[in-house]
């Protein structure tokens, strides 16, 4: 999608929540490049409570990678791809009551490329036979400060999470060839804003609802749902209704070769009407929890006075590198 730089582009938005308590029967899947696809005879049906390993003390480690390429569309030579690397750690640390319901709290630490310190945030989970849920409260607020007078303001919540690992313009200009045009700089600013919004809506803290009456299954008000059970190829579900409608589409069950080993998981494509045709967002989930995620974003801009065009491409990935569970048999390896 070409964006005239004098009119700011509409920023892509994403999010997560679903309706209903049942799924469809498993279907055949086709081969993709993301991993080795498993046929229906090996497809598990995670319909029972406990698919996602929510035991206090469970922990996960991930490797993080951010790739950036800037290419002039007018035929000029583009700069090289720059790579920024980091890691993250997640641990289930205890329980917390929010909206009158009990959640298991997950603490996350992110070690950004070249950063001397870490960025931290928290997510609150619960699970039933219909799905996995997150309390839609600011992930930047530690457990003791949720809804307290000491909680940070809305403009500060999640600020570090939204920007961690995204290079500044000065670093972009230096690492990709020094001085760049003003069009390139403005395009990078627009693209960086798109990255922040995708991150914001893939995580809780976008919309806080009042406590509702209970329901027999499914998400409650004040919750988003990253997974709807049972998972199977070709399943589709709405992951968030408010303030943006976003769908999850289960494309296939695959065996992934990860830094942590070889494990099966479901590849889920995240869809939103504001994503451009060349944008792609995927997450992988399995009995080991979240196995990984990829975000591919492209922004093209044109200066309507000079005709100069530029394309910015970023790829963000996060893959499971290690984990430790209270029940080691909870996570099954994929076939060799």
pLDDT of residue 308: 85
What is the C-alpha to C-alpha distance for residues 250 and 17, in angstroms, rounded to an integer?
A: 14
pLDDT in tens, the chain (336 residues): 444 443 333 223 333 222 333 333 222 223 333 455 443 333 344 444 568 999 999 999 999 999 998 887 655 555 567 888 899 999 999 999 988 889 999 999 998 776 655 788 899 999 998 999 999 888 888 887 665 544 454 444 455 778 888 888 888 887 766 556 888 889 999 999 999 888 877 778 765 554 444 455 677 878 888 999 999 999 999 888 777 778 899 999 999 999 999 999 999 999 987 888 899 999 999 999 999 999 999 999 998 888 888 899 999 999 999 999 987 777 877 776
Give the residue among 247, 204, 234, 213 at the shortest CA–CA distance from 108. Answer: 204
pLDDT of residue 49: 56
What is the C-alpha to C-alpha distance for residues 83 and 230, in angstroms, rounded to an integer?
A: 37
pLDDT of residue 197: 80
Rg (CA), the chain: 20
pLDDT of residue 39: 38
**pTM of the entire structure?**
0.80
pLDDT of residue 238: 86
Per DSSP, 271 falls in state E
Alpha helices, DSSP H only, in the chain?
159-163, 169-175, 182-202
Structure-derived torsion over alpha carbons of residues 184, 190, 193, 199, reported in degrees to the nearest 10: -90
**Cβ neighbours for 177, distance < 8 A, ≥ 6 positions apart:** 79, 80
What is the C-alpha to C-alpha distance for residues 146 and 168, in angstroms, rounded to an integer?
A: 31
């Amino acid at each position: 999608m070409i964006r005239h730089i004098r009119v700011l582009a509409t920023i892509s938005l994403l999010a997560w929540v679903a309706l209903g308590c049942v799924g469809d029967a498993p279907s055949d899947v086709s081969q993709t490049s993301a991993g080795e696809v498993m046929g229906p005879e090996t497809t598990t049906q995670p319909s029972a409570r406990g698919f996602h390993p929510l035991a206090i003390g469970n922990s996960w480690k991930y490797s993080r990678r951010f790739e950036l390429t800037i290419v002039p569309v007018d035929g000029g030579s583009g700069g090289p791809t720059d790579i920024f690397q980091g890691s993250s750690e997640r641990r289930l640390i205890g329980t917390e009551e929010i909206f009158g319901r009990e959640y298991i709290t997950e603490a996350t630490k992110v070690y950004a490329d070249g950063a001397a310190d870490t960025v931290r945030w928290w997510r609150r989970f619960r699970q039933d036979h219909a799905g996995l849920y997150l309390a839609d409260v600011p992930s930047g607020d530690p457990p003791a400060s949720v809804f307290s007078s000491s909680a940070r303001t809305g403009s500060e919540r999640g600020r570090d999470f939204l920007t961690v690992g995204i290079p500044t313009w000065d670093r972009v200009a230096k690492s990709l060839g020094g001085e760049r045009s003003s069009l390139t700089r403005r395009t990078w600013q627009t693209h960086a804003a798109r990255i922040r919004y995708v991150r914001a809506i893939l995580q809780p803290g976008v919309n806080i609802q009042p406590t509702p009456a209970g329901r027999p299954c499914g998400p409650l008000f004040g919750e988003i749902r990253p997974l709807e059970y049972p998972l199977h190829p070709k399943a589709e579900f709405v992951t968030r209704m408010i303030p943006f409608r976003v769908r999850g589409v289960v494309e296939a069950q695959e065996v992934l070769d990860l830094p942590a080993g070889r494990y099966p998981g479901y590849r889920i494509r995240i869809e939103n009407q504001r994503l451009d045709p060349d944008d792609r967002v995927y997450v992988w989930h399995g009995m080991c929890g979240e196995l990984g995620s990829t975000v591919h974003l492209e922004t093209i801009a044109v200066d309507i006075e000079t005709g100069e065009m530029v394309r910015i491409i970023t790829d963000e990935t996060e893959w499971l590198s290690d984990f430790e569970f209270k029940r080691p048999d909870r996570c099954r390896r994929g076939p060799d």
